[in-house]
Structure 1
């Protein structure tokens, strides 16, 4: 039997975006992440250089925001099971954009805390509500692909926005910083208008009122994720693996600057490598991870790649310049591949292990563990790689490996249970 021919790229793109929900989410995500990329580039420097906040206060602002974002991530998903997910998404995007723009007005510590808290609440709710919409609006075969498309677009948008934000850095004036912040925030808020086009099917289905003359059985509300030990353990392990993002954003710049002979600009190249590989590979390598076994297998591969990447990161200290650069670039490639595979596996499992009657609450729990990883990740990396050097990198590699194989075990057991229940 001959294999069916692979469709041309143009046809595959057309088929992917034939769905109105994905079209609306994609265009809104592109516009919004361009605006988000603009602000990501300059917010910290604005608070430090223009608003004049000490470094310790800036760090505290982000710590408070991260802590608040944890609760907001679950709250958004929970509310998406009882309220209109479309309206929640529109509101959270609009609030986040306006709050981002209002950073340009910050001149004192308390103002920074208020704006960052609003941003964290809105972005935390935004992420889990968006995931709940994907869980409801698409079939199991297309959910992960849709998430992969949105993540690819997110990387493209943030990359473009980062370039725009560099204009403010080049000009260096307070007026330039404020103008770019306002423009980026308003662009993010404006993307909410496109989300108004989302259809009603993205909302949770409301139980139909029982016919007064019919003896209808009550509608089951679905299982709470807090009473689902398997999902909680999976989410916790996925959250541990999510510390890989903090390794890239926090650990690598510190490691390169203080523990290697590589020039600081190599970090920019490593970020470019990561972005290009994620944009190019996230969609194709995420296909099929709605299958529990495949999701578990790709997560195991991701763990192995990340562990080897940590070994190479650690080995880059104490070597000459050429060897250091080669090791860092090789590690960043392994890291990017691990990121792509682990995300595909985690998305598939986050959808398939959940009780679909409470998709929002389950996605809220899943998103919450990533917020926890963002908050504790810097401490974990400091206690390991930054303080212990190569030994610390080995500890990190072992941590990622254990987390990945833990997820794989959960996936395989779930697959066996699914196959057993499907037997006649």
Structure 2
């Protein structure tokens, strides 16, 4: 295994166990231990998410300017410290500050990690690395969620705090391997005008080559927006489907957990093999188009589960969740390929930061879109969601085809040697 990928896998495997604990117990801790109301918790989550959207670009931009290795180490350590502070929070203000800090450095670290992958690997290897890390992340978060059961079983404030501190320590342990990343993950060093050799971890004082701003790249911005729209399928699984099952179907509410486990298993088993080849722009476009079709089928099938007896409802929901999970796997692989291949090589970090910003904005808007379509209008709302997913995927496929034509024209324009 490549040294960079090996280090990132080790760091992810350890740290995401701690993150899984926090994802499982944080909301319960805020409401039942600290005593925040549901509305206060929602405000905190909303504001902190907005902060994370803003810092995504900052992390990617800085990864093009200073040592990405050191930057990632510092950001991950800061996130671990912020998570540890949850155990000592006492009121709305302290929780808001902690949540905003954790979200800010967490989003920046994610963008930095993507910049490192963009720089350390080429072509298909980039998508393969993302697929491996996503699989490891799912496994680790599942393990963390299992460990969080200790606090849930004990159901005491002290147990919650001990488990959260333990999770923060585990997170810190996952930060240590990052320091061993090789120098090649940093932006290329430019020699100063004096001819002196700069430090391997810092850029010299000479003015860098001017890189184009991703905010002026309309094609990349359109890709980012469309991927953000399709990315609403995550919120559909986390918010829309559970509420639809509980309020509009005869299926038992416990099926929600079964469907989440099914999703995790499919991602863990199939993400790596189904991501192969999506470093190619043409294949990326094709698999995202396929994902759009599957998501449209899933949305309609979810809708059909409403108003039918228990057994057919369960069968329809399991079928929809299976199609949904494979759509997630293919859409992620395809979007990774395009988000890497359409960047400018002078500043891949800034481009990845913009892409992460789009994903964050999509995640913020998704609950409102799901609530105002499927949960409000039932079958017609699900049809609307199906069209949204299908149209966004088809539009991404068009961008991929245009890029393939552009690459073909560029090759034809190169004179033979």
Q: Please, what TM-score do these two structures have when normalized by structure 1?
A: 0.93
1:210 Cα deviation (Å)? Answer: 4.1
Aligned residue in 2 for 1:71 = 54
Selected match of 1:190 from 163, 173, 190: 173
Establish whether residue 281 from structure 1 lines up as the match of residue 270 from structure 2. yes
Q: 2:319 aligns to what?
A: 330
Deviations 1:161-196 (A, max 9, x none): 000011111110111111111111221122111100
Aligned to 2:199: none
Q: Which aligned pairs between 1:122-271 and structure 2 lie closer than 5 A?
A: 122-210=105-193, 220-271=209-260
Among candidates 301, 304, 317, match of residue 293 of structure 2: 304
Q: Please provide the CA RMSD for this pair.
A: 1.2
The one-character-per-residue Cα deviations of 1:55-104 (angstroms, maximum 9, x if unpaired) are 10000000001110100111100111101111111111111111112111
Conservation of the 8 A alpha-carbon contact between 1:95 and 1:189 = no
Following TM superposition, by how much is the alpha carbon of 1:206 offset from its aligned partner in structure 2, in angstroms?
2.6
Deviation, structure 1 residue 219? 6.2
CA distance in 2: counterparts of 1:205 and 1:270, whole angstroms: 45
CA contact (8 A) 1:98 1:186 kept: no
Distance 2:394 2:8 in 1: 33
Matched position secondary structure for 2:357:
helix
**Mean CA deviation greater in 96-105 or 223-232:** 96-105
Give me the whole-angstrom Cα distance separating, in 1, the residues matched to 2:358 and 2:58: 13
Q: Deviations over 1:26-68 (max 9, x none)?
A: 0100111100001110000000000000110000000001110
Distance in 2 between the 1:422 and 1:209 partners?
34
| Structure 2: runs of 5+ lacking an equivalent | 196-206
Output the CA distance in 2 between the equivalents of 1:152 and 1:70.
24
Find the counterpart in structure 1 of residue 369 from structure 2: 380
Q: 1:280-314: per-residue Cα shift (whole Å, max 9, x none)? A: 11111111111111000000000000000000111
Rounded to whole Å, the distance in 1 between the matches of 2:191 and 2:276 is: 35
1:94 touches 1:190 (CA, 8 Å); kept in 2?
no
| SS of 1:360 mapped into structure 2 | helix
Are 2:388 and 1:409 equivalent residues in the alignment?
A: no
The answer to whether structure 1 residue 364 and structure 2 residue 347 are counterparts is no
The aligned residue for residue 61 of structure 1 is 44
Counterpart for residue 200 of structure 2: none
Q: Which residue of 1 aligns with 2:82?
A: 99
Q: Using the TM superposition, give the Cα deviation of residue 254 of structure 1 relative to its aligned residue in structure 2, in angstroms.
A: 1.1
The number of residues matched between the two structures is 403
Q: Secondary structure of the residue that 1:196 maps to in structure 2?
A: helix
Shift of 1:410: 0.3
1:106-117 matches, cutoff 5 A: 106-117=89-100
Tell me which of 98, 101, 109 is aligned to 1:118: 101
For 1:318-361, what per-residue CA distance to the aligned partner results, in whole angstroms no more than 9, with x for missing partners?
01000110011101100000000000000000010000110000
**Do the aligned partners of 1:222 and 1:358 also contact (CA within 8 Å) in 2?**
yes
Moved over 4 A (4+): none
Q: Distance in 2 between matches of 1:95 and 1:88?
A: 11
CA contact (8 A) 1:39 1:180 kept: no
Hey, what's the Cα distance between the residues in 1 that align with 2:209 and 2:157? 57
Aligned partners of 1:255 and 1:356: how far apart in 2?
A: 44
Per-residue deviation, 1:255 = 1.0
- Matching of residue 87 in structure 1 with residue 70 in structure 2: yes
Conserved 8 A contact 1:243-1:374: yes
Please state how far the C-alpha of 1:141 moved relative to its aligned partner: 2.3
Q: C-alpha separation between the residues in 2 aligned to 1:119 and 1:317?
A: 39
State TM-score, norm by structure 2. 0.95
Deviation at 1:414, TM superposition (A): 0.5
Output the CA distance in 2 between the equivalents of 1:393 and 1:207: 53
- Would you say the 8 A contact 1:295–1:346 is kept in 2? yes
Partner residue in 1 for 2:31: 48
Secondary structure of the residue aligned to 2:170 is helix
Gaps of 5+ in 1: 1-16, 213-217
Alignment partners' CA distance in 2, 1:141 and 1:255? 38
